[in-house]
Structure 1
Amino acid sequence: MERTFLMIKPDAVQRNLIGEVISRIERKGLKLVGGKLMQVPMELAETHYGEHQGKPFYNDLISFITSAPVFAMVVEGEDAVNVSRHIIGSTNPSEASPGSIRGDLGLTVGRNIIHGSDSL
């Protein structure tokens, strides 16, 4: 049994998609074990996305993720990291598979609904 961190981004929160996203995750067998609607502080955003510092999109990413509330959550299930990454889909919604969260609901690379950890 694995646990992993997921974060519904401001674009999805503003579009009232929290319930839809959680439903899709639960339908794939993952269980929501913790969640919190929160405003991400600048320091946390910079730490969380530190691997992207220096990249052209970094400042826009930090501005976006701190611009409005997110829904941070932990899900649990068998092979939770891989299952959640599959449900989420490719970073670019136009390249994401139909049926994936980003493929069905994402608008652009910068407004792609959800962050999924690639580790436990």
Structure 2
Amino acid sequence: SYREHAGQFFYQRLVEFMASGPMWAYILAHENAILLWRSLMGPTKVFRARNSMPDSIRGAYGLTDTRNTTHGSDSPASASREIAFFFPEFNEQLWYQQDEPRLRCGQVYYNAKERVHCVFRDEETELA
């Protein structure tokens, strides 16, 4: 979801790179998910990432500024928009009402086949 970059000189190159191979999209759940993920990614400019944060994802694996390996939302509003684009079946409001409180209590398990953390439902808790 790079709509805000449309019209920029690098836009076409960026979109072509994003569609050039496999891609995984995730919804990260944490009070500071945006800040923490952006810190792990490192600076957008690969040269800066290599010099100031060489152990960051972009510092270690970035090729150029438009081929910097990762993307992360820059705000909660961007995250909501991007989540709706990549996961149209995901209901953010329902997640905050039902799943998020259980997540905070540690009532989750990892589904390796689908590569996702899932929240135990009452019927699943009774079966466990």
Give the deviation of 1:104 after TM superposition.
1.5
CA contact (8 A) 2:14 2:67 kept: no
The alignment's C-alpha RMSD in Å is 1.2
Separation in structure 1 between the aligned mates of residue 8 and residue 56 of structure 2, nearest angstrom: 27
The amino acid of 2:54's aligned partner reads: P
Separation in structure 2 between the aligned mates of residue 62 and residue 107 of structure 1, nearest angstrom: 15
TM-score (norm 2): 0.53
Higher relative contact order (CA 8 A, sep 6+): 1
Determine the structure 2 residue equivalent to 1:110: 66
Moved over 4 A (4+): none
Which secondary structure state, in structure 1, belongs to the residue aligned with residue 15 of structure 2?
Answer: helix
Give the deviation of 1:63 after TM superposition.
1.4
Structure having the larger proportion of residues in helix: 2
Q: How does 1:1-120 map to 2 (within 5 A)?
A: 48-96=1-49, 97-120=53-76
Structure having the larger proportion of residues in strand: 1
Larger Rg: 2
Separation in structure 2 between the aligned mates of residue 98 and residue 79 of structure 1, nearest angstrom: 22
Percent of aligned positions with the same letter in both sequences?
44
Q: Count residues with an aligned counterpart.
A: 73
Q: Which runs of 5+ in 1 are unaligned?
A: 1-47
Which secondary structure state, in structure 2, belongs to the residue aligned with residue 95 of structure 1?
Answer: helix
Give the deviation of 1:108 after TM superposition.
1.4
The amino acid of 2:4's aligned partner reads: E
Give the deviation of 1:78 after TM superposition.
3.0
TM-score (norm 1): 0.56
Determine the structure 2 residue equivalent to 1:27: none
Determine the structure 2 residue equivalent to 1:30: none
